[in-house]
Amino acid sequence: MDNEILRALRERRSCRSYKPEQITDDELETVLEAGTWAPTAKGLQDPWIVAVQNPELLKKISRMNAAVWGRDIDPFYGAPTYVLVFGSDPAVWANSVPDGSLVLGNMMNAAHAIGLGSCWINREREMFATDEGKALMQELGLPEGLIGIGALSLGYPAAPPRDPKPRKENYWRVVK
């Protein structure tokens, strides 16, 4: 079958090169709102979403992420917007990581649907477990005890994405 949504799901690719221009507030809010419609366990809406566009803060988050990775690069590919997703400690709420991951997935697909590029950027768990990360979560006005689940780089694509790999053999099976 085919329709607009299915095409968007097939065609979304990770974007690793961004134009410096900032996206519009309308575009950002569209992506964030799509995140809020992700299903969450028990409907508890456990995740917390923080969009960052402040240049100093972008630099700091990029540096913190690169430090976890042990590399001197910008892991966010120069994107003008980052979207960070946090959730409860899994020891407190076992579904926080799947909940947050679905929020991130919704936002990536929504970004693609409106012509934006995005990429999941890893290492949030580690970077927000440091003293600096915990202090930053407080600065961002988040409640205590959350963990970093994942982040997105977000912006206008500056280059075509990599071609997708073919889907692996036997990815799914049907048992009737």
Interface positions with ligand FMN (CB under 6 A): 13-14, 16, 119-122, 161, 164
Closer residue to ligand FMN in complex, CB, 97/146: 97
- State in angstroms the smallest separation of the CB of 141 from ligand FMN: 25
CA-CA-CA-CA dihedral for 143, 144, 147, 152, to nearest 10: 30
Helix (H) or strand (E) holding 86: strand 81-88
- State in angstroms the smallest separation of the CB of 16 from ligand FMN: 6
- State in angstroms the smallest separation of the CB of 152 from ligand FMN: 10
Closer residue to ligand FMN in complex, CB, 24/129: 129
Closer residue to ligand FMN in complex, CB, 55/164: 164
Closer residue to ligand FMN in complex, CB, 119/154: 119
Give the span between the Cα atoms of 59 and 90, in whole angstroms.
29
- State in angstroms the smallest separation of the CB of 34 from ligand FMN: 17
Tokens of 30: 């569209």
- State in angstroms the smallest separation of the CB of 72 from ligand FMN: 16
Closer residue to ligand FMN in complex, CB, 11/29: 11
End-to-end CA distance of the chain: 20
